[in-house]
Chains A and B, each alone.
Chain A
Amino acid sequence: MINVKNLSKKYNNKTVVNNVSLNIKKGKITSFIGPNGAGKSTLLSAVSRLIKHDVGEIMIDQKEINSWKSNELSKKVAILKQSNNLNVRLTIRELVSFGRFPYSQGNLTQEDWEKVDEALSFMELHDIENQFLDELSGGQRQRAFIAMVIAQDTEYILLDEPLNNLDMKHSVQIMKVLRRLVDELGKTVILVIHDINFASFYSDYVVALKNGEIIRQGPTNEIIEQGTLKEIYDMDIPIKQIDKCKVCVYFA
């Protein structure tokens, strides 16, 4: 379980995350939604110790995040940020093998390579595993980075806008993979996402942030609802039921 209690974070004097408390359920997909500048990415970065929080506490499996040893935590929580520009030239396989660093410290064993292979097949990257990352399309690159996170074999997988700059086909592909990670491998996935329809289709829980505060959180069904969305985005978003799914028509 990840429990966040009264978390606040300031940049200079601007409060970006203000007194946020939430519990993240194991074995589910939780989506953070909300307008730009709501503090979603900051919250995610704090939970994954990429940035230090000012006030409050973050408990990961009943242990405060700062008292975890960095290496131990990296076997528990993985984070993937939205911009992944590398200065080094790597093949997909090399990148994915970095995911084993927490276990092998760079000297990969047979078992580590097996995990790398598993991650590559899970993301269907085996046939292009020796291509260099700078030769790939955005969708393939994103899959390669997700494969690295899978090879890291953590209980919690945190993703900051994994669908950024991807077309529909690749977005669906990524979301299906995340769903499989949860359903087949029992991982816990937390992601920041902008398209509320993807959140509505694929996530179990939704946390809505606005101005650094959580304004609503709960099962997806309760949040994807006209009144709630009005509160979050300040716009009227009609919701249509198609088959069993709720679709938000936010274009007009």
Chain B
Amino acid sequence: MSERKTRKCQVLVVGGGPGGYPAAIRAGQLGLDTVIVDKAGLGGTCLNRGCIPSKAFIHAASKFEEMRHLAEKSDMGLSLSAAPQLDMAGLTAWKDGIVNKLTRGVGQLLKAARVDAVNGWAVFRNAKTCVVALADGGELEITAEHVILATGSKETELPFMKFGGAVIGSTQALELTELPEKLVVVGGGYIGLELGIAFRKLGSAVTVVEALDRIVPLYDGELTRPVTMWLKKNKVDLHLKSKARGVVEEGGKTFLEFQTDQGETQRVEADKILVSVGRKPVTDGWGLETMGVDMDGPFVKIDDQCRTAMRGVYAIGDLTGEPLLAHKATAQGEAVAEIIAGHKRRFDPVAIAAVCFTEPELVGAGLTPDEAKARGEEVITGKFPLAASGRALTMEGGADGGFVRITARKSDHVILGIHAVGKHVSELSGEFALALEMGARLEDIAGTIHVHPTLTEAFAESALAALGHPIHISA
């Protein structure tokens, strides 16, 4: 057995994802002796196999699709004389280049903050001590005054069709070097749809099998309608209320077998079957059970300062529950570092906005009208179609049924939720979150001059619509 070294520190961060690395950087900035441990590479799921690579992939797919259309038919006075060629290996390499650049950047930021980054797998012996099996051999025992758990989440497998062979998860979907001719997506949540749509744009025949009666269940039917329209127009085969039953091999071909809402069993041929039925926290294999923390279902239970039941042990990000979003983890990580440094902080956002990079894109911040009503609120809403936005039209948007919708309390006009669907609307999410955090009323948004010509005008117009006097549509 090789030598075991020891290290004492003030803050130990386990997991180098979008929760862990900002926590470590902030702790380092605050002068705390900080160690971060990660096995799979800095940046976590987000940078390595989630947000960033999927967005690169989606962008390339959209570009390819546009070129393909131009090769078929001229548009805006533009045309291509030959169809574009797809080199999946080239696409993957380009995406990997972006990922590498970003993860290297994280390493440099940690270094600049004097954080000690350890590459290896940490297993806790007790709440404050772990042994890291170092990636380059040997062991390091770390004892910390404060521990931040940021182990994140992983893809959920279906027990009757585990990953392997034709069955892949989102991680492998982003590593493919050959385009699957026939792709079946199990799960119509945002990950399945983002990837399914991108593969469709690249030319795969795509089938989506979803157990519920709707796609992207976090958004209401009004919002998802433009996405459903796109799927229909682009011949994506959508089966709602249908349950995957398993994989069948027959005659050298692979099929997904599923049960429809009528109770019939159907088969669909597949080169690859993408299972995207959710994510679950990583709670096994690193000694969580030795730490004496309380659980909340599958997640680690925390309070509004991200404290677990164990003194000096904090947990952040996907490990701690919904929503499983990188920016939530980042905000928690920063807050926890400051709490450890003795600052007063609390994690109490009004809203955590979420974005789906489907076609068209979806944005949600705060409550939908239905959710607000379920809380006993009397609401008014205002909706502004992107078809009436000059800027949307100049970017080939608006024709997809996109809109911005604002939901406010009827009595005092305080904004409760803001949602949008349409091309490029993901970039509006920041303003939506800001409006909610600042406690804005409809009048605040209507009274803020929004730049022309941008998509943000649609937000101001939606507030005017809720107040009953929009300019660019008839009230």
A and B part of one assembly: no
Give A residues with C-beta under 8 Å from B.
none
